[in-house]
């Protein structure tokens, strides 16, 4: 799966070889030869973080439960019975 990476020096965009290389391999600009990144760091940056994914799933569940229970809890104050 190709991902593009841009050079900060010359602005050239190229495909980053993150699928076929080792983590410690360098990604250099093909135009000016400047060091851009390592394959491992680029690969980690493109993957979703586990903690953020879990946080988003729990937030979605909380919102879904709030929407389902909203009709049960929306009674006028006059109809509520205290314990």
Instruction: Report yes or no on whether pTM surpasses 0.85.
Output: no
Strand partners, 35: 28
pLDDT band of 1, cuts 50, 70, 90: low
pLDDT band of 66, cuts 50, 70, 90: confident
Sign of CA dihedral 9, 11, 15, 16: positive
For residues 28 and 7, the answer to whether their CB atoms sit within 8 Å is no
The structure tokens listed for 23 are 């983590």
| Residue ranges per structural domain of the chain | 3-46, 50-74
């Amino acid at each position: 799966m190709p991902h593009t990476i841009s050079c900060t020096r010359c602005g050239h965009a190229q495909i980053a070889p993150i699928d076929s290389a080792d983590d410690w391999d360098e990604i250099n600009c093909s135009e000016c030869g400047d060091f851009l990144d390592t394959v491992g760091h680029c690969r980690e940056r493109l993957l979703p973080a586990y903690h953020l994914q879990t946080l988003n799933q729990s937030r979605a569940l909380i919102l879904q439960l709030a929407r389902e229970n909203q009709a049960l809890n929306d009674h006028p104050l006059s109809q509520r019975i205290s314990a």
